Chain A
Amino acid sequence: MTRAAGIDVGGTFTDLAAIDADGAVVARKVLSTPGDQSEGVASALDALGAPARTVARIAHGTTVVTNLLLERRGARVVLCATAGATDVLELRRQERASLYDLSAAHPAPLVVPTDVVGVRERLEPGEVRVELTDGEVARVVAEVVARAPAVVVVALLHAYANGAHERRLAQALRAALPLADVVCAHEVLPEIREYERTATAVAEGYARPAVATYLARLGRTVSERGHPAPSVMTSGGGMRTAAEAARAAASLALSGPAGGVVGAAAVLRVAGFDRALTIDIGGTSADAGLILDGEPLVESGGDVAGVPIALPRVLVDTVSAGGGSLGWIDDGGALRVGPRSAGAVPGPAAFGRGGTQPTVTDANLVLGRIVAHRMSGGVKLDVEASRRVVSALAAQLGADVTRTAQAMVNIADAEMARALRRVSVDRGVDPRSCVLMAFGGGGPLHACALADLIGATRVLVPPHAGVLSALGLAMAPERRESAVSVMRRTDALDGAHVRAVADALAGQVEGAVRAWTARTRYVGQGYELDIPCAPGDDGAAIAARFAGRHHARYGFVLDREVEVVAMRHTASSLAESVRFARHGTPTWTDAGLVDDGSPCDAIVAGEAVITLPDATLFVARGWTARALPVGGWLVERVP
């Protein structure tokens, strides 16, 4: 019996990690099916041996929403916005797309200007300045009906504080357009700032029909095999049932990358650490993340494919540096790497698929850091081809091939180290205090050099590094989030009020573990901090905790009133426990150690190469790698 299976759909591979009743982990990797991701999910389940083995719970990480936003393939949305503020999506926040490229334009909004309908009504702080009349409702409904959209989004000014107008208009629209989906912005994101709230609600409406269709199809495919309906990971690292996820499409925009950091956090705790920087290096890009107190750092805001989505998200900083990044020489005579990538096709020269330009993978091959006869996906590597293309570049620079290859790796490392420092230093975290957790095909290859650049002295290469996102999905608890606008100063917030808000939020969902946070700031500030709170708290307690956090994060406190902008609630089930262990027997080859997960107490001093199931660990000079009993490796800087 399989307790839980996590299935992560990536651009090339669909990964599955299953946790057995005894806690053991089984991994499968199949090719993704970009046309319909559910086919890849089905073949991953079939590869597990289903239906002979029943799976109690399936958790899914998907790129359906990300791809939809990137390719602009969502539904036609009509937006109803307060008259006088109907251009909110085009106005954005006024900053330009590029500081120096004057013709660079932001991606077009998801709603065309002619599909925005102005609504004559106006809420102002604490009052209704212009009532929404029956006549106006009828006029707006007629305008919307004439456009016959699949989705209508209602986003009115100050509705975070008073949703009455949005609800009334939505009700009338639902009655007139029974087949359309009607989304109220204050229900998607009950927070101040009209641009971010409106854009998030529009993204929700835009993605909803496609997400609903996909999840329904996936549910059928999975149930035909005798499995339960899958739950889906949100950008914030929570988990929703398929039915809930279909009505929270915008919260799935970063489902995939979130799974990686959630998986890393789960394995980190098993390995006995609680603070880490994560680096997931793939073919075209590298994702940096941060884990504090054993949990991925979750923040609100940011955008996906140029669409702002101000919902909670697991922090991931992506840079264009990966195994496929191309080396070249610019007009200033300097060697460069990326941002262009050879991708999967043609890929590095070593893949023999027509790649003629040197990539970081080619450089690593030239340096002997990838063992040529083993590579995932059955690709046979051609070291001579790598040497040829790197030599050609070296000749242009008048340098030798080894030095050129090392320089290419150094340049890619420098880019990735910047991302690692951004996610830590920007949040007041000293990177030297973190374990560097390296995964993805290229993570273990670059880990020692990256650790040196950021001053970290320990590198954790997790077990099951090749399917870490899928494992994170399998281990993640069910988690549901809800939120409500508060907009009240803490001195006007008594215990009874906090309890009423907290209970109302908690009443919406079930869960074994409950947590509340208050989005809190100094009056007049534009930034909030999420402060943990409980139903017994009053405003003064929240304000005191806020001051403590503010000091820790920013280094000062202010003699100024504090206000709570919104309150959030999460309800979680208990996490799956996993017993990591090594099985089988170890192998040494001429090319070094091959770690296939076998019991192993090896201690390997750098410089050395250890071949992992889906990656290669390069132990640099000055570093020592120790096989962990739970699988994976801890690599430490020799003092």
Chain B
Amino acid sequence: MSGFDPLAIRVFASSVAMIAEEMGAVLTRGSLSPNIRERRDASCALFDADGRMIAQAAHIPVHLGAMPEAVRAVRDRHPAAGDVWLLNDPYHGGSHLPDLTMVEAIADDGCIVGYAAVRAHHADVGGMSPGSMPFGATELVQEGLVLPPVRLVSGGVLDESLLGLVLANVRTPGERRGDLAAQQSACHAGAAGWRALRAREGVAHVEAGASALLDYAERRAVARLRELGDLDADAEDFLEGDGVTDALVPVRVHLRVRDGRLTLDFAGTSPRVRGNINCPVAVTRAAALFVLRSLLDDDVPTNDGIARAIEIITPDDCFIAAKWPSAVAAGNVESSQRITDLLFAALANAGVAAPAQGQGTMNNVTFGGAGWTFYETLGGGQGASERGPGPSAVHVGMSNTRNTPIESLEQAYPIRIDEYAIRRGSGGQGRAAGGDGVIRRYRVLERCTVTLLTERRTRAPRGSHGGGDGATGRNLRNGEPLPAKCRVELQPGDVLTIETPGGGAYGA
């Protein structure tokens, strides 16, 4: 135990969590786009002067623990106190291009005393298709504007020419400008909160508190892992095509737990692929953190301490630790889900009472017509666990965004929803049944294209401990099957049906 008073740890935890929450409140209040404001596809985090993440307000698990990479990338470029940096380059602190991350080097008396970071998924960052989540991309540059860490604000002055360059390369510059302003306000709120805490509690107390809080989260993670005992297990799973070909893409892991430390060795995982299901190792780390986080009690504070209990080893050429110039848009949304499934499977193989697999996909559906685009993701079945059946019709794993009400969708777009229903019986059968997926039937009123980025269309979510598998998902145009990943034209009156996968059952 460190020198910090154990009586004060939870007060300190509340104080820093409050700062991160307030950054989130400022962001959602100020942002323009529904994706940030309503679906909350954004995260805010606070770091100390050494770049250690001490609090994160996460709405979206895929951002878990991926933000320290962004701060590291900025620190590598020697920011000045008070600078605000912007980045999205997956190979320099980013995840996929729509996630624009802003980092403020918090100044106090001319010194950097910490960092405030805000990541938000923007509706468009340019590239070959609206929404910047293209089907069939094979190079990063096709997916949108790539921003290595760049200095957006220096000496309190916003670099308008740099912002102009960014806005000139996106399809909806007005909305982007507003969302970026909201991100900047959120960073400032974090900086102000951190300075106020240091002034109120004293610099020495706050600095000791940061270290103690990280140690505390680490202790709790290690304590939970120790309860599981020493573990060794392998697991294997596959993605259904890389977005260019339909060939299965293997992911493999050897999981090892020794004395409360988790090692994940992804040897045997596919080398990088042509399509865009690649992802930077930050996304892989986020998936690992999510799985460990789900084993912990809800009240463990989210900070870098948890990550210290995990070691990740990836082969040199590996699609989940991809390198430039691989395309990555779908990796963030779909490969992250598969890694999560893989790790739960490895835990189950090691004898841990891990839940059965959930739908394992976000079912990304993007419509594009003359002058409009509409993007949504669909929930499905959650896997059952020893504690009970899996919930139906929810996002599983790395996403948790809300649906679009039928009435709102029909008011805004030339699309009608003929059916939105629970896909009864799609959850696996067993002692505890898997959750059911959903059926969403769209009828389009105008000619448009639809892009599908989906998974679990041929390989079912598996049951656990003898429980049955969930049903695979189905994509249909006028009743005819479509591939898991595709882009197709729709004529007025055409009906697109998405049936999302059910979750696996637990126990025979």
Contacts and interface: CB of A to CB of B under 8 A. Distances in A.
Nearest to B421: A87
A192 interface: yes
B10 A524 contact: no
Given A87-B421, A100-B293, A332-B219, A524 B412 contact: yes
A414 B1 contact: no
A88 B440 CA distance: 12
Contacts of B185: 555
Interface centre among A125, A413, A556 (most CB of B within 10 A): A556
A90 B437 CA distance: 12
Interface in B188-246: 196, 216-217, 219-220, 223-224
Contacts of A102: 294, 355, 358, 382-383, 385, 390, 396
Interface string B393-420: 1111000111101111011100011111
A422 B384 contact: no
A385 B385 CA distance: 43
Contacts of A335: 6-7, 9-10
Interface stretch (A166-174, A346-354, A397-405, A623-631): A397-405
A301 interface: no
Contacts of B18: 417-418, 421
21 contacts: A84-B419, A85-B406, A88-B420, A91-B403, A91-B422, A93-B402, A94-B402, A96-B394, A101-B294, A103-B355, A103-B382, A103-B390, A103-B391, A105-B391, A124-B410, A157-B407, A331-B223, A331-B224, A411-B11, A414-B15, A526-B38
Contacts of B217: 332
A425 B25 contact: yes
Contacts of B393: 87, 90-92, 94
Contacts of B383: 102
A510 to B, nearest CB: 33
Contacts of B174: 558-559
B160 interface: no
Interface string B9-27: 1110111011001100110
A553 interface: yes
A333 interface: yes
B358 A90 contact: no
Given A95-B395, A331-B219, 15 more contacts: A85-B420, A87-B422, A94-B379, A102-B390, A330-B220, A331-B220, A333-B1, A334-B9, A411-B10, A411-B14, A425-B25, A426-B25, A526-B37, A556-B30, A558-B178
Interface string A62-99: 00000000000000000000001111101111111111
B388 interface: yes
Q: Which applies to chain A's interface (DSSP): helix, strand, loop or mixed?
A: loop
A85 B405 CA distance: 11
Contacts of B224: 331
B435 to A, nearest CB: 9
A588 interface: no
Interface of B: 1, 5-11, 13-15, 17-18, 21-22, 25-26, 29-30, 32, 34, 37-38, 58, 61, 174, 178, 181, 185, 196, 216-217, 219-220, 223-224, 290, 293-294, 296, 298-300, 355, 358, 378-379, 382-385, 387-396, 400-403, 405-408, 410-412, 416-422, 438, 441
B22 A425 contact: yes
B7 A158 contact: no
B293 A90 contact: no
A422 B57 CA distance: 13
B382 to A, nearest CB: 6
A397 B6 contact: yes
Contacts of A158: 407, 410
A413 to B, nearest CB: 8
B197 to A, nearest CB: 10
A195 to B, nearest CB: 6
Contacts of B355: 102-103
B412 A422 contact: no
B411 A125 contact: yes
B379 A410 contact: no
Interface string A350-361: 000000000000
A96 B32 contact: no
Contacts of A104: 391
A85 to B, nearest CB: 6
A421 B441 CA distance: 43
Interface string A362-403: 000000000000000000000000000000000001010001
Interface string A98-122: 1111111110000000000000000
A124 B460 CA distance: 36
B362 to A, nearest CB: 11
Nearest to A118: B421
B9 A426 contact: no
Contacts of B216: 332-334
B22 to A, nearest CB: 5
Contacts of B392: 90
A86 B396 CA distance: 23
A160 to B, nearest CB: 8
Interface of A: 84-88, 90-106, 124-125, 129, 157-158, 160, 192-195, 330-337, 397, 399, 403-404, 407, 410-411, 413-415, 417-418, 421-422, 425-426, 428, 455, 487, 524-527, 553-556, 558-559
Nearest to B300: A332
A414 B406 contact: no
Contacts of B410: 124-125, 158
A404 B5 CA distance: 11
Contact of B438 (A91, A331, A332, A556): A91
A407 B379 contact: no
Contacts of A96: 382, 391, 394-396, 400
Contacts of A404: 7
Contacts of A100: 61, 290, 293-294, 296, 298
Contacts of A418: 14, 17-18, 21
A605 B81 CA distance: 42
A330 B224 CA distance: 12
A417 B196 CA distance: 15
B165 to A, nearest CB: 22
A105 B224 CA distance: 23
A442 to B, nearest CB: 18
Contact of B407 (A87, A99, A192, A336): A192
Residue of B7, B58, B412, B438 with most chain A CB atoms under a 10 A cut-off: B7
Contacts of A195: 405
B395 A103 contact: no
Contact of A556 (B178, B408, B441): B178
B422 A553 contact: no
Nearest to A106: B391
B10 A336 contact: yes
Given A333-B219, A407-B8, A554-B29, A94 B408 contact: no
Contact of A194 (B7, B29, B387, B407): B407
Contacts of A487: 411
Contact of A414 (B10, B37, B401): B10
Nearest to A195: B405
Which 6 A-B pairs have CB atoms at the shortest separation, nearest pair first? A407-B7, A414-B14, A94-B403, A332-B220, A94-B379, A334-B9
B387 A103 contact: yes
Contacts of B26: 425
A159 B219 CA distance: 55
Contacts of A399: 5, 7
A194 B404 CA distance: 10
Given A100-B294, A333-B6, A524-B412, A192 B420 contact: no
Q: Which of A85, A94, A95, A98 has the largest number of chain B CB atoms within 10 A? A: A94
Contacts of A417: 14, 18
Given A91-B422, A193-B408, A194-B406, A410 B11 contact: yes
A553 B400 CA distance: 26
B19 to A, nearest CB: 10
Contacts of A105: 388-389, 391
Contact of B29 (A92, A101, A331, A428): A428
